[in-house]
Amino acid sequence: MHAFISAVLRLRYWILVLVVAISAGAVFLLSEAVVGTSLAQLFLGDSPEYADYLELIEEFGSDEIVIAALADQDPLDPEVQRKLDIADKNLGRIEGVMRTASILDAQSIRTEDDTLIVESHADRANALGEDRESYRHVLADDHFVGGLLVSTDGRDSAVLIEMEGGDRRPAELTVDIIRSVRQAFVDAGFPAESVKLVGQPTDLAASMEATNFNLKRLFPLTALMLVIAVWFMFHR
């Protein structure tokens, strides 16, 4: 042990160079690191039930939903509806987004004189002109709209975004998709502070961003502090 310590002290500068080289290499590798697969495939890919799950979502639809809540964006306002239409087109161009639903897609189903009538809620409200405020309670009371595509009081908007199911994309791609989803609303004219995203893909993206921050920011600083500590120890 004494001989080993003596050798380390005698070659301390070369050892410092080696420590710095290893640390720099680790930082570079971590900065380029990707999970390379989805978390579901990583942990569940070998399970036969996972294959059954993929078949079910192909048949019945994806279970990966992002809800974009748009605070203080009146669903009865024609200008808000115009922005929603632009946002819908922007979202349709994002890889991984399958379909969207908003007040523009919501249908009003009713009967008049034994005739079934299906109309767009947005069209019915806009047809009222300045009296569209009287239609707000209709939106709020519709079980397929109130609390889903509009707030329970009918004064805030929301958009349901169905993403490709099965979590088959690399985890890092989810981060890019969520950023693009948020930007789609901003580009459509919605204030950034009014756009609130919730859902499992959003949680995954936040976790991946925190992990990347720790690996690419905190780890290099920690490695640098350790190298400095080793330098001072050997220098003495």
From first to last of the 236 residues of the chain, give the pLDDT tens digit.
Answer: 667 667 666 776 777 777 778 777 766 666 555 555 555 665 565 667 767 767 776 667 677 889 999 999 999 999 999 999 999 999 999 988 888 999 998 888 877 777 888 888 888 888 888 888 888 888 888 888 888 899 988 889 999 998 886 556 666 788 888 999 999 999 999 999 999 999 888 888 887 777 777 767 777 777 777 777 766 776 65
Q: What is the pTM of this model?
A: 0.70
Q: Which residue is associated with the tokens 């908007």?
A: 157
Domain extent listing, the chain: 2-31+219-235, 39-198
How many DSSP H helices and E strands does the chain contain? 10, 6
Q: Quick one: pLDDT at residue 188? A: 95
Q: Quick one: pLDDT at residue 67? A: 93
DSSP state of 134: G
Q: Quick one: pLDDT at residue 168? A: 62
Q: Quick one: pLDDT at residue 130? A: 85
List the structure tokens of 104. 């523009």
Torsion over CA: 216, 220, 221, 223 (sign): positive
d(CA 27, CA 21): 10
Q: Quick one: pLDDT at residue 112? A: 78
